[in-house]
Amino acid sequence: MAQNVVGIDIGTAHLRAVEVRNPGKTRPTVLRYHEVPLPTGAVSGGEVLEPHTVAAALKALWSGGGFRSRQVVLGMGSQRVLARDLSVPKMSLARIRQSLPFEVQDLLPVPVADALLDFYPISESTTEHGPTVNGLLIAAVKAAVVANVSAARLAGLTTIDVDLIPFAVSRLLVTRPGMDGVVAVIDLGATTTSVVITRQGVPQFVRIIPTGGDDVTRALAAGLKTDAATADLLKRRVGLLAATNAAPRQEVSFDGVIAGGSGPIDAAGAHIIAEVMNDQLGSVVNTLSYYASTRPSDPVTAIVLSGGGARLPGLPEAVSKLTRLGVSTGDPLSTVGLASALDAEGLRLSSAAYTVALGLALGRAA
């Protein structure tokens, strides 16, 4: 197995990669990181639509970042991936995986033949039918996975694993640091928001919500009649000051403008941001409420935010006020070393953007 592994985060607008030495060690070393832009339409929701275009971008990524290893781990985390609770009779993991096509036909939105299936065991129990293994069914639309792997192959790269992005993020921010209790990791990406709940670092529950930071940017651009770049800068400056208590039906409201800007443009922007985040955080709160209703004996004790969307000013305070839980922003670099030749300060400043790529790389033991 390769000593060095590269995790690749295939986003809608960018490719990001992190190369790690000895990913299976207690404190692996980050050797290199880099990102390149993607042409509009080449990728949608993490799924490659134009393999040759993405392959060309991957070649530019390797050249610009100076990556040495060609062994890569890709991630999947869009609405084309499903994660659901599943209990099966106790048997070896190999046999469970062989039986999945027969066990899950009624749970999938696509024919079994069009899906790639995996099972993540969590616990064992005994029922009236005998010993049982409880876990998570992971199902991905085969065409989406094949397209991403094909783009990597066209770029001369070898895909050694395809991981679920919420698992990669929770592994990096909760499992490796050894966080105790039941922790919800909320990763706010450009087009999706994932919620993974872990108990003692082991994932118990996963949901992927089809909204992200780009929805806020688009709403600002449309509402203020400006371009996306200006809207994005406004979003990052204004953000959210605070959230009021959730109103009936899980509605959420915000008021005020974060320090750093004022005037009618900021006030109008704050209102638009509040409206969009009203829906997005409402979906997150509903997800947490569903988890609580199905597992009342394992309440969430803390929340960790990650992803580019987590940098929205005032978001941790708003989430804490909504959930009445302690909220922190994950530190993706807390359990890794940084190579001496690395631009360490640059990586620390942009670490949120590289969380997924680093988590993917660390999921592959050397």
Q: For residue 291, with 0-12 CB atoms within 10 Å meaning exposed, 13-18 middle and 19 or more buried, which class applies?
A: buried
Share of the chain above pLDDT 70, in %: 92
pLDDT band at residue 46 under the 50/70/90 scheme: confident
5, 44, 64, 236, 330 from 32: Cα distances, Å:
11, 26, 11, 27, 21
CB 7 within 8 Å of CB 357: yes
Q: In the chain, which residues fall in CATH 3.30.420.40?
A: 177-331
Mean pLDDT, range 25-53, rounded to an integer: 94
pLDDT at 256: 35
What is the rounded distance in angstroms from the CA atom of residue 213 to the CA atom of residue 217?
A: 7
Assigned token pair, 154 = 């066209």
CATH of domain 81-141: 3.30.1490.300
Q: How many CB atoms neighbour CB 133 within 10 A?
A: 19
pLDDT band at residue 243 under the 50/70/90 scheme: very low
pLDDT band at residue 24 under the 50/70/90 scheme: confident
pLDDT at 267: 82
User: Nearest CA to 155 among 301, 55, 19?
Assistant: 55
Q: Is the pTM of this model over 0.85?
A: yes
CB 256 within 8 Å of CB 270: yes
DSSP 301: -
Share of the chain above pLDDT 90, in %: 74
CB 292 within 8 Å of CB 205: no
The pLDDT of residue 92 is above 60: yes
pLDDT at 241: 58
pLDDT band at residue 253 under the 50/70/90 scheme: very low
Q: In the chain, which residues fall in CATH 3.30.1490.300?
A: 81-141
The pLDDT of residue 107 is above 50: yes
The pLDDT of residue 150 is above 60: yes
The pLDDT of residue 168 is above 60: yes
CATH of domain 177-331: 3.30.420.40
pLDDT at 15: 97
Residue 271 contacts by C-beta under 8 Å, 6 or more apart in sequence? Answer: none
Pairwise pLDDT comparison (252 vs 132), residue with the higher score: 132
Pairwise pLDDT comparison (191 vs 63), residue with the higher score: 63
Q: What is the mean pLDDT of the chain?
A: 89
DSSP 174: I
